Amino acid sequence: TLRQVNDHSDKQIRDDEVLSSLARLFSALLRSDWRGQSENRLRPTSSQHTHLTTQNAAPAGPELAPCDTALQTLGFYIDKRSSSLPSAGTGVFVTQGHVPKGVVVAMYPGTIYQADDPILIQSIRNPFVFRCIDGVLIDGNDKGMSKLVFRLVQVTYNKAANVCYQEFDVPDGFPLELHQYFPNVNYRPDVQRPLRCVVLVSLRAIHRGEELFSNYYTIVH
């Protein structure tokens, strides 16, 4: 399956829409786990971001599980189960709610390598290295969920893609206390550029019970 984009851009939705979606979910996750955020609770109120200084900063009732927080915040939740494709192993499905067209569905986790970082050894026989348009690489091969997510959503057989990859740079002003929820880390800690992320964006409405499939190749004109 091929996806074609123009002008060296892979944007399905605007960066500010991606930012808003991530900030909303991460803020909800932080609030639902506020009792476990000992370091953040010790910070002066004046240094906390606005989502922590409202009257709803601490949950009034029982803390929600991450899946319930995602469902309440985004309107849907995804999880893994046996794929609908023959011999494909495990798949990723919308298990609750409904995914509208043009929203962030998931993130691609992994270690971020800049174009000049050494990655030869890590890339040998490693099909989980995602190459961004500008040469930045994200290695999702951690033997865990990163490997699973990358492996499962690839389009095979004659299935049409319902999600696609989109690159996103985290702006400098993104609240520090929310960075803990990004599933990415730079290979070198001294990188002087915004954190690169890759999100999966829905190409159409995806209903409860549907499996996620992505484009395997993107052609840039």
Task: Tell which CATH classification among 2.60.260.20, 2.170.270.10, 3.40.50.10860, 3.40.190.10 matches the domain 2-14+73-220.
Answer: 2.170.270.10
pLDDT for position 216: 55
Lowest mean pLDDT among 79-93, 102-116, 117-131: 117-131
Q: What is the widest separation between alpha-carbon atoms in the chain?
A: 55
Q: Would the pTM count as exceeding 0.85? A: no
Q: 164 pLDDT exceeds 80?
A: yes
The Cα–Cα gap between 65 and 93 comes to: 18
The string of DSSP codes covering 86-138 is TT--EEEEEEEE-B-TTSEEEE--EEEE-TTS--HHHHTT-TTEEEPTTS-EE
pLDDT bin (cut points 50, 70, 90) of residue 55 is very low
Q: 209 pLDDT exceeds 50?
A: yes
Q: Delimit the domains of the chain by residue range.
A: 2-14+73-220
Q: 59 pLDDT exceeds 60?
A: no
The string of DSSP codes covering 196-218 is EEEEEEESS-B-TTPBP-B-SEE
- In this structure, are residues 159 and 213 in contact, taking their beta carbons and an 8 Å threshold? yes
Lowest mean pLDDT among 19-23, 103-107, 122-126, 188-192: 122-126
Highest mean pLDDT among 39-43, 119-123, 186-190, 205-209: 205-209
CA triple 112-118-214, angle to 5 deg: 40
pLDDT for position 122: 62
pLDDT bin (cut points 50, 70, 90) of residue 118 is confident
pLDDT for position 93: 95
Provide the β-strand partners of residue 129.
139
The per-residue pLDDT of the chain, averaged, comes to: 77
Nearest CA to 213 among 105, 66, 74?
A: 105
Element (H, E) at 77: strand 76-82
